[in-house]
Amino acid sequence: MPGILLGDVFPNFEADTTAGKIKFHDFLGDSWGILFSHPADFTPVCTTELARAAKLKDEFKKRGVKMIALSIDNVEDHKKWSKDVMAYANEGDSSLPYPIIADEKRELAVQLGMLDPDERNKAGQPLTARCVFVIGPDKKLKLSILYPATTGRNFDEILRVIDSLQLTAQKKVATPVDWKPGDKVMVIPSLPDSEATALFPKGVATKELPSGKKYLRTTQI
């Protein structure tokens, strides 16, 4: 089945959007990027999601992340629906702060494995699922999450994941369960104690475990 795996270079596709025709890698430039698909315009859950994303535009910008949405609707429908989205966000006087891709022929949806076989339009064609792709400055896929049409996404969680991705891209650490910025992080197991001590001047704490293995090491960044 077509799709894309973590670490793959994200396709440099061309597409029509509400901001005109784009070539994806040129759109990203040297930035991080997030591409998120939705099943259909003028539908309730999708409206709440894109409105929430719009309200978080400054949070994504602060992290150097360019935003772009996608569905199988056409550009004109995207533009009309965008007004509903911004009205729901209580920002009716503003334009949607990111473009929406019009994948009318479902070419990208098939290429990226985004179709939901259980959700279909009136013609019986499958709709796009609620996919999230986070792409790094190297144009490689760093994260993918796939939600069914019935479940709206948590964009605060998506921001948390981006914080983790950006931190762990720079430091030899991993983030534990429920981590949020400012919390302690885990020292990666492959890093020797001698290097860990040098890299993390705030100290490294090792948890004593019944196995006697010294793999649970935490530090403060």
215 in any annotated domain: yes
Residues 42 and 81 in one domain: yes
The pLDDT of residue 1 is 45
- The predicted model gives 166-184 an average pLDDT of 97
Helix ranges (DSSP H) in 102-192: 107-111, 155-170
The pLDDT of residue 214 is 93
161 in any annotated domain: no
Cβ-count burial 183-210 (b if 16+ within 10 Å, e if not): eebbbeeeeeeeebeeebeeebeeeeee
How far is CA 123 from each of CA 44, 100, 126, rounded to the nearest angstrom?
A: 20, 23, 9
Whole-model pTM: value is: 0.93
Residue of 15, 28, 35, 46 with catalytic role: 46
CATH number at residue 123: 3.40.30.10
214 in any annotated domain: yes
Residues 36 and 129 in one domain: yes
| Residue that is last in its domain, among 153, 187, 209 | 153
Residues 37 and 146 in one domain: yes
pLDDT tens profile 159-170: 999 999 999 999
Residues 108 and 195 in one domain: no
Question: Residue 92: pLDDT band by 50, 70, 90 thresholds?
Answer: confident
Residues 135 and 199 in one domain: no
Residues 209 and 131 in one domain: no
How far is CA 197 from each of CA 13, 175, 192, 201, 220, rounded to the nearest angstrom?
A: 44, 18, 9, 7, 12
Residues 118 and 149 in one domain: yes
Domain containing residue 200: 171-219
Q: Cβ-count burial of 165 within 10 angstroms (0-12 exposed, 13-18 middle, 19+ buried)?
A: middle
SS3 assignment, position 16? strand
Strands 65-71 and 100-102: parallel
Rounded Cα distance between 84 and 40, Å, is 13
| Residue that is last in its domain, among 100, 120, 153 | 153
Residues 134 and 77 in one domain: yes
pLDDT tens profile 24-73: 999 999 999 999 999 999 999 999 999 999 999 999 999 999 999 999 99
Residues 146 and 175 in one domain: no
Residue with tokens 């939600």: 147
Q: Examine the residue annotation and report whether 131 is marked as an active-site residue of this protein.
A: no
**DSSP structure class, residue 48:** H
Which of 101, 90, 109, 16 lies closest to 47 in space, CA to CA?
Answer: 90
Q: Which residue(s) pair with 120 in the sheet?
A: 126
Q: Which residue(s) pair with 141 in the sheet?
A: 135
Is residue 55 within 8 Å of residue 89, measured between CB atoms? yes
164 in any annotated domain: no
Residues 101 and 183 in one domain: no
Domain count, the chain: 2
Residues 18 and 98 in one domain: yes
159 in any annotated domain: no
Residues 32 and 90 in one domain: yes
